[in-house]
Structure formats: C-alpha cells, structure tokens
C-alpha cells in the first residue's frame, strides 16, 4: 500500500502495464481528471516510458540511501544512549559513597550532552528501543535531562544555566532510591505511604546537604520539581515566584514523562495525548511559557506516537527533526516486509502526511506486534551537521 501515487503522465500507465501486476487500486476522488478525460490522453512513447522507469529507479535508490543513513544515525545515537544510561546508573553508588566524585561525573555527562546540543546545526530526537519499568528511575532521569536541556536551549538560557538544569534534572529523583517497600515504582496504597512518597524530593541528602560542588539552583530543582505555581504541589506547597525558575522548567518536562509512564496503566497517556492534557489541565500549575515552548518543541507527533497516514497505512513515529516537525520519520506497518527490515520514511521526502494519531490498542493484533508500541518511551538526541 505504500506504493501509492498520483498518475500525472501517460507513460506512468504504460509502465504499470509492463509490470504485469494482477491488480491496482484506484481512488477517483483523489484524481485531478475524470475518467472521460483520461481516455482522451495521448499514448506514451518508448522514450517517455524509459524516462519514467529511470525516474522510479532513481527515487527507489534515493529512498534506500536515506534509510541506510537513518539507520547509521540511529545506531550511533542508540550507543550514546546506552553509554549515558550506564553512567546514570553508576551515579547512584558514586553519590552515596563519594558525593563530590558523583557530582563531577554527572557534570561531565551533562556537558557531553550539551556539546551535542550546542555544536549542531539541527537536532533529531530519536525514540530508543531500550527500557524496562524495573529500571524506571534511571531511564526517567535521563529522559528528563535530555528534554530539559533541549527546552533550555530553545528558551535561550546560558550555558551555565543549562548545566544547572541538566544536573538538577539528572539527580531530581535520586531521593526515590531511599523510599521503602518499592514505593519508587508503584502507587502508594495508604496515607502513610503517600506521605513517605511525597517526601522523596528531600531524601537525596547526599546531594542537597553539605558542600559537594552541586550548584544551589540544582539543589532547588531537586527539592522543588513537584511544586506547582498554584501551591498544590509538594513537599512544601510553594507558590509562584517562590519556586526557582529553573525548577519550573524541569517540572514541565517531569510532568510530561510521568504522564507517559504513569505507574497505573489505565492513566498512562500516549505522547501526543499527554501534551494535550498538560495544555488543558496544567496551565495554572506550570510555567505557561515553558509549557508552550515544550509543546512546540515536541511537535504534534512526538516520537512514540502511533499514527495513520493519508495513504491509509499505520506507523510509529521514530524521530522528529526540530526544523521540520510536521514531517517525522515513521516506521511503517507492512506485513509484506520483515519487521527487522521495516521501512522508516521521512514523510516530507515521500510526500505523505499524518492524518491522525491513534491509541496503540486501536491497532490490529498483527500491526501491534509489528510496530511494538513502547511501554517505556525513551529519547536521545542526534546532532545534525550542515
């Protein structure tokens, strides 16, 4: 079904006849000419047919090269993601045993991500395949770090402010590692458990207490990443300007990732629904400028979204380019192609458009298994050079 196009020249019809296809589908409503007009079109000559055949061959070759380039970029980005995830995991023990060493290691990691951000002419945000809910704290921390740094850059923050944002985002949930009874990965069942859970911003004592080299604003991010502007947040119920501006930025990203990975599967939202829900329900609680810019940054079809295209096919958004958010890279469901060889297409290059996002459970069983919607939606960036 991907091989759909509008017939514009008689040589295209002649070329289709030579392919000896058993059948083709036609859609008169998408045609610019009537059936009567079509019958009066001149017959294509051999030169025109050859030119059309060569054009199709060149288009196919270009598509293959784009797919190869995409897969090379994805392979490199995936390795960077795995490396940074391993470093995130190792920070837990370093911070407990030697806080200063842990802060230095985290600073080097944040600076590495920032270098990718600051030295690139454009950015692509990729959906990563790795991720398990049992390791949610580290995946979540890296997710929030990457997206918060992207947002900080978009807002024009200084490099020093970006570094603070990155450190605060990376460490913001380390207090959860001290929660009892698996509270870090499940919903509280009692009022006592809820109170304990809401204390986690203040439990990262190795980071928020003492002189370990962590900037005070990064400490503020750790303490305040659940505070809302209207005073309904926790643990202190702070309001408005009393909440640090950089903490307000990280809170926006943290809310998004928490909605996408809610511990209650019934409340878990797809990326596009999460953005819409935040815009509708969090305007009074979150910094509006940061929220609006975050939504613009993620685009209409964030990576991980299941979409239907204008040719009828379904796919999963694998990456977005910050310079062309309406033309994401989409992996298409095509049962005729093995999933390990599935086509990942830039919709803009192929002249295709997304008509709607769909919930994963709306897919057929075979499409669901093929596209494999992620339980954990993890992101990492790939810098583009001109």
The domain locations on the chain are 52-298
* CB contact at 8 A, 140 and 132: no
Strands 306-309 and 122-128: unpaired
Higher-confidence residue of 296 and 187: namely: 296
Average pLDDT of the chain?
89
- From the CB of residue 111, how many other CB atoms can be counted at a distance below 10 Å? 15
Mean pLDDT across 13-25: 78
CA distance linking residue 131 with residue 138, whole number of Å: 10
Judged against a pLDDT cut of 90, whether residue 6 lies above it is answered with no
Partners of 346 in beta bridges: 329
| SS3 state at 262 | coil
Percent of the chain residues past pLDDT 90, beyond the cut: 63
Mean pLDDT across 272-297: 97
pLDDT band at 1 (very low <50, low <70, confident <90, very high): very low
List, for residues 298-355, the tens digit of each pLDDT value.
999 999 999 999 888 999 999 999 888 988 999 999 998 898 888 898 888 888 899 9
Question: Residue 45's pLDDT is what?
Answer: 74
Strands 344-346 and 329-332: antiparallel
pLDDT band at 274 (very low <50, low <70, confident <90, very high): very high
Terminal alpha carbon distance of the chain:
34
CA distance linking residue 190 with residue 371, whole number of Å: 38
CA distance linking residue 63 with residue 233, whole number of Å: 49
* pTM of the predicted protein model: 0.88
- Helix-strand-coil split of the chain, %, nearest 5: 55, 10, 35
Indicate the helix (H) or strand (E) that contains 346: strand 344-346
Question: What's the Cα-to-Cα distance from 27 to each of 6, 24, 31, 112, 310, rounded to whole Å?
Answer: 9, 10, 7, 51, 12
- Closest by alpha carbon to 316, among 152, 172, 127? 127
Span 52-298 CATH architecture = Orthogonal Bundle (1.10)
Judged against a pLDDT cut of 50, whether residue 240 lies above it is answered with yes
pLDDT band at 181 (very low <50, low <70, confident <90, very high): confident
* CB contact at 8 A, 314 and 370: no
| SS3 state at 269 | coil
């Amino acid at each position: 079904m991907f091989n759909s196009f509008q017939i514009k020249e008689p040589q295209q019809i002649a070329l289709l006849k030579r392919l000896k296809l058993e059948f083709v589908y036609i859609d008169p409503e998408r045609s610019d000419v009537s059936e009567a007009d079509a019958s009066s079109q001149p017959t294509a000559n051999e030169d025109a047919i050859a030119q059309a055949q060569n054009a199709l061959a060149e288009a196919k070759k270009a598509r293959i090269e784009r797919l190869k380039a995409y897969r090379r970029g994805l392979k490199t980005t995936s390795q960077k993601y795995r490396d940074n995830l391993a470093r995130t995991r190792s920070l837990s023990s370093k911070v407990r045993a030697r806080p200063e060493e842990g802060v230095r290691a985290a600073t080097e990691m944040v600076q590495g991500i920032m270098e990718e951000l600051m030295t690139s002419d454009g950015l692509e945000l990729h959906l990563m395949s790795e991720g398990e809910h049992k390791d949610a704290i580290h995946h979540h921390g890296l997710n929030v770090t990457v997206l918060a740094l992207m947002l900080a850059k978009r807002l024009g923050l200084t490099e020093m402010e970006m570094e603070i944002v990155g450190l605060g985002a990376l460490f913001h949930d380390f207090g959860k590692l001290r929660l009892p009874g698996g509270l870090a990965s499940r919903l509280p069942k009692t009022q006592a458990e809820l109170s304990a859970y809401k204390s986690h911003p203040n439990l990262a004592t190795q980071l928020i207490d003492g002189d370990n080299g962590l900037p005070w604003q990064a400490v503020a991010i750790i303490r305040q990443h659940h505070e809302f502007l209207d005073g309904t947040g926790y643990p202190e119920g702070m309001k408005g300007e009393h909440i640090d501006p950089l903490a307000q930025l990280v809170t926006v990203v943290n809310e998004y990732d928490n909605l996408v990975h809610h511990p209650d599967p019934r409340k878990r939202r797809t990326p596009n629904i999460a953005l819409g829900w935040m815009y509708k329900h969090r305007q009074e609680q979150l910094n509006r400028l940061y929220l609006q810019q975050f939504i613009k940054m993620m685009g209409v079809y964030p990576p991980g979204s299941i979409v239907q295209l204008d040719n009828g096919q379904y796919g999963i958004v694998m990456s977005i380019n910050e310079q062309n958010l309406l033309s994401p890279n989409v992996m298409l469901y095509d049962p005729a192609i093995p999933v390990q060889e599935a086509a990942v297409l830039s919709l803009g290059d192929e002249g295709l458009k997304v008509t709607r996002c769909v919930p994963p459970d709306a897919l057929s069983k075979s499409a669901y298994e093929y596209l494999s919607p992620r339980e954990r939606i993890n992101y990492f960036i790939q810098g583009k050079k001109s």
